Amino acid sequence: MQQFEGRVAVITGAASGLGREFANTAASLGMKLVLADIDAKGLERATAALQAGGAEVISMVVDVSKREHVEELADAAMIRFHGVHLVFNNAGVAAGGLVWENSEADWEWVLGVNLWGVIHGVRVFTPIMLECARRDPHYEGHIVNSASMAGLLNPPAMGVYNVSKHAVVSLSETLYHDLRLVDAPVRASVLCPYFVPTGIAHSEAHRPHALENDEGPTASQQAAQTLVNKAVESGKVSAADVARIVFEAVREGRFYIYSHPQMLATVAERMDAIVGGKPPADPYAAMPQLTQMLKAGLKKG
């Protein structure tokens, strides 16, 4: 995708973190913005700031786990801007802990946002983009799905999150192949960031009441939360850096997008273990202090 100015970008999870920086970058390129988030106050602040900077913006409070919410977002985009060119299925949440200690509510919440949010985004927006392409012979479209390095690795005490992000990688790769199968002028990418300072470590604040746990967190869940907080806050690659990397990848038509390409050595170790029929490789082998932190947290419990 080469032309950004005057085109329309749809961004979920736009109130903070990566989504907010995608919006900032898109606005700087002259794009029209359709923003969505479950955080009403954060979304209002982001919208006001972007409009004050001269961007043309509409925004809507959206729970991406609900199909009808995503459909309403698409309807609003088409009514206001009559087209969609760039879609960021970006909204995400996190829950950790030993995988057998995660509640059914944990699974419903994380898969609802991280996986079903992307599924709804793909199902709703891809046909719209294909129809836009049929009307415009010069149309260019691109879909960016936010996964994670946890979609290529399986860190301990992050099972629910890992499953959701591996599924997003699979969905995105299939989307890439399916778009090529029909010769669509729409590209697809999957974003796999590592630890980047965003609001995802505090996503529990926006968890629906119906999916809250009756009991407090276990020792493993507390340890996982502490690790994520520390790792995210100490991240040296900012959300703005990731946004720059993503827009460069969209411009170049790249599928896999990494914030920390140095982590690919660990991904290669995992793949070698799969091909060689070995036990799963340790995703924290290069950072044993993370495993030690988790074990220490478990002993406190």
**SS3 label, residue 42:** helix
Q: Does the active-site annotation cover 258?
A: no
Give the total residue count for the chain.
301
How far apart are alpha carbons 114 and 225 in whole angstroms? Answer: 18
DSSP 262: G
Whether residue 62 contacts residue 124, with contact meaning beta carbons closer than 8 Å, is answered with no
What residue spans of the chain are helical by DSSP H? 17-28, 40-52, 67-81, 104-110, 116-135, 159-181, 219-233, 239-252, 264-276, 288-300
Q: Which entry of 161, 176, 194, 258 is annotated as an active-site residue?
A: 161
Collect all residues with Cβ–Cβ distance below 8 Å to 163 and sequence separation of at least 6. Answer: 111
Catalytic positions, written as ranges: 161
